[in-house]
Chain A
Amino acid sequence: MDRRSFIQSSAAVLAGGTVPLFPMAAHAADEIVVGSIIDMSGGLDIYGKPMTDCMTLAVEEQNAAGGLLGKKIRLANYDPQSNMQLYAQFAQQSALKDKSTVVMGGITSASREVIRPVLTRNKTLYFYNTQYEGGVCDRNTFCTGVTPGQTVAKLVPYAMKKWGKKVYVVAADYNYGQITSQWVKKFVQENGGSVASIDFFPLDVTNFGPTISKIEQAKPDVIISALVGGAHISFYRQWAAAGLTKKIPLASTTFAGGNEHIVLSAAETDGFLISYNYFQNLDTPQNKAFKDRFYKRFGADYPNITELAMGTYQGFKLWAEGVKKAGSIEREKMIAALESGISIEGPSGKVSLDPETHHCVLNVSIAEVRNKQLNIVETFQQQPPVDTSAVCNLKKNPKDNQQYVIKV
């Protein structure tokens, strides 16, 4: 028994020996608290539900394997209901009341930017496991999802080689769409192509008629879409209704992230190209074993294990690897361990943390939508986060703490 746990157990005895009165104090020494703030209701729940399932599975697996450092992991789950105010409140609670060792969560970039300063101020480690637009540079934060420097960099040349050099971009009108479309433009130009136009749409726009006519007028070889959310599904629907799915091919950085390929019909989506770190039918032993465990826990009829869900699973695994290496849950020691170049063999392949950016080096695959399935056509091994590393070096500037908008 070390000194700290001796003092704590003595304190519990002194407090009257009545354990049920102070259950938290009595248990704090033999559990590690992991905070999870993921939208289970509201407009983003379509993304959040599979993420939370994967988080639950990851924690259960870790506990079944004996926990970490001989302690059980307790998952402190919060549902911010797609409401930014609740994000701030729950981040505070996770850090101060639960004394979480690490907080994972946030789906949109807006929610991440609400959580991040709260956790940095309270010196609580933060993992953001979602695909996003890149550029976050913060020693306390680890962004384990793919960024445009990894996916767009592969998707755009692939689509241009297959279909042609004139590109038309449609994107959601907030920072994901704005920044991602700049990356699309950069990669199109680098590959000798031209961008006919970039059109942005507020998240609640449902009428795409004029845009569709404009696209026909511009006669591009390929459409790149970074549209997001339920209302924007209308684009794919109206695109097909106008008979264009067969005339002008489409590639997307966001399609299928919310299971759009299951909602829409095969005729509406066949031939779309997408790019992510993880696809459910990735043919590796790790992925097969993962799917067996996942289906056993959540049922064989689970619609689709999404990129964001796998990001959550792998983010947790990376953190656990860091704790094992650090041999401690002290923040500085964990950061040092995570920055030592650790990696895991995840269902998506090898995922390693890049010490300089706190982003991941990971595999990226391109898939084609065919009959409501996502069929992998090519996999690119071990892509570094080139976008964020252009502006961020936490080894050199550990005090850096901001999201860069990368000039492209």
Chain B
Amino acid sequence: MDLALVVLVQVLYAVASLVIVSAGLAVIFGMMKVINLAHGEFMMLGAYAVIGALELGVNLWIAIFIVAPIAVGLVGVVLERLVIRRLYGRMVDTMLATWGLSLLLVGIVTSLAGNTTAGVSAPLGSFSIGAYSVSGYTLVIIAVAVALALAIRFVLTRTQLGLIARGTMQKPDMANALGISPSRVYSVTFAVGAALSGLAGGLLAPLTGVVPTMGAAFVAKAFITVIGGGPAILAGLLGASTLFGAINQLATFVTTPVLGEVALLVAAIVMLRLLPQGITGRFFKGSL
């Protein structure tokens, strides 16, 4: 019974971390159709923003929830203005450009912060479930994922900003004719996506070693999740995260961590063979 509860917490955690890791990419790639290979590096920047803020004496929670997303959001604005805006509608070109950006960002951070692993301990200690103990920070990750999903839904459906963003992504010329500047909408949306990636990096900083090359560990999973999710941003993100996170974690429990990773990829391949458009290409059609 204790074990079942622990497994449940771990599965929720795996799903939640996929949601958090992929949310920024769901906006930039899912909505804006920019193949952002620098997604992992945006997360890395978020993690370094937390480390840097802590060195300046900022409270850990402020560093994670405020400093990291704002810092990476600003970087997003700059990169969008300098590079990405020239490439909208040219997906393959965005892939090359963002790949270059990822190398550049790794290089810059390495020369600034050095290549030794940095990090911060997970706060909140641990709590017990029967004979097992679970890190309190695990619950924070789960709670943030839920809050994030609710917030994305709220912004996209209930605010004018979300409506304009969705409309502009679908028909930029029509939006322009209605007096909306697509250029500005793109810029803001990209910044929001980058900020979400930064938040993800900040949230994961207490759980992983922070090195300039850490992004590589996350970018593939984020892409698998967003592609597996299909056209609907939020439903796809949640659906794919739940499917892949649960498969990964349960397979890891039953077999080994190596097979857990394999199971995730096999599940993704099988699913995309059956549902080439992703989960929301067939189910939850027309949802958000």
Please determine whether B207 and A210 come into contact, CB atoms closer than 8 angstroms.
no
> Which B residue's beta carbon lies closest to that of A205?
B257
A217, B4: Cα distance in complex, Å: 12
Of the A-B pairs whose beta carbons lie under 8 Å apart in the complex, a sample of 9, sorted by A's number, is A205-B261, A206-B217, A210-B252, A213-B3, A213-B10, A231-B214, A237-B122, A241-B138, A263-B119
Please determine whether B3 and A241 come into contact, CB atoms closer than 8 angstroms.
no
Separation in Å of the A260 CB from the closest CB of chain B?
7
10 tightest A-B contacts by CB?
A: A243-B126, A233-B209, A241-B135, A241-B122, A204-B217, A230-B211, A230-B209, A210-B252, A234-B208, A243-B133
Please determine whether B253 and A259 come into contact, CB atoms closer than 8 angstroms.
no
Please determine whether A240 and B208 come into contact, CB atoms closer than 8 angstroms.
no
Whether A230 touches B213, Cβ cut-off 8 Å, given contacts A209-B138, A241-B121, is yes
Q: Which of A250-285 contact B (CB under 8 A)?
A: 258-260, 262-265, 267-268
Please determine whether B121 and A268 come into contact, CB atoms closer than 8 angstroms.
yes
Tell me which residues across on chain A come within 8 A of B13, comparing CB atoms: 207, 209
Interface string of A4-40 (1 = CB under 8 A from B): 0000000000000000000000000000000000000
Please determine whether A202 and B261 come into contact, CB atoms closer than 8 angstroms.
yes
- B79 interface contact, C-beta 8 A: no
- B116 interface contact, C-beta 8 A: yes
- A244 interface contact, C-beta 8 A: yes
A260, B249: Cα distance in complex, Å: 27
Tell me which residues across on chain B come within 8 A of A258, comparing CB atoms: 117
Apart from the given pairs A231-B209, A244-B133, 7 other A-B contacts in the complex at a CB distance below 8 Å: A46-B117, A205-B217, A207-B17, A216-B133, A230-B213, A241-B121, A263-B209
Separation in Å of the B186 CB from the closest CB of chain A?
32
Tell me which residues across on chain B come within 8 A of A242, comparing CB atoms: 126, 133-135
Separation in Å of the A235 CB from the closest CB of chain B?
10
Please determine whether B207 and A238 come into contact, CB atoms closer than 8 angstroms.
yes
> Which A residue's beta carbon lies closest to that of B260?
A210
- B57 interface contact, C-beta 8 A: no
Please determine whether A210 and B253 come into contact, CB atoms closer than 8 angstroms.
yes
Tell me which residues across on chain B come within 8 A of A247, comparing CB atoms: 133
Q: Could you list which residues of chain B lie within 8 angstroms of chain A, going by C-beta atoms? A: 3, 6-7, 10, 13-14, 17, 110, 115-119, 121-122, 125-126, 131-138, 204, 206-209, 211, 213-214, 216-217, 249, 252-253, 256-258, 260-261
Whether A241 touches B207, Cβ cut-off 8 Å, given contacts A46-B115, A231-B214, is yes
Please determine whether A240 and B121 come into contact, CB atoms closer than 8 angstroms.
yes
Separation in Å of the A170 CB from the closest CB of chain B?
9
Separation in Å of the B255 CB from the closest CB of chain A?
10
- A214 interface contact, C-beta 8 A: yes
Please determine whether A202 and B125 come into contact, CB atoms closer than 8 angstroms.
no
- A201 interface contact, C-beta 8 A: yes
| Partner of B209 from A41, A216, A234 at Cβ < 8 Å | A234
A202, B257: Cα distance in complex, Å: 8
Tell me which residues across on chain B come within 8 A of A230, comparing CB atoms: 117, 209, 211, 213-214
Interface string of A181-220 (1 = CB under 8 A from B): 0000000000000000001111011111111011011000
Whether A210 touches B208, Cβ cut-off 8 Å, given contacts A46-B117, A242-B134, is no
Tell me which residues across on chain A come within 8 A of B217, comparing CB atoms: 204-206, 231
Whether A43 touches B213, Cβ cut-off 8 Å, given contacts A205-B261, A243-B125, is yes
> Which A residue's beta carbon lies closest to that of B245?
A207
Please determine whether A173 and B258 come into contact, CB atoms closer than 8 angstroms.
yes
- A45 interface contact, C-beta 8 A: yes
A204, B257: Cα distance in complex, Å: 11
| Partner of A237 from B14, B126, B134, B206 at Cβ < 8 Å | B206
> Which B residue's beta carbon lies closest to that of A264?
B119
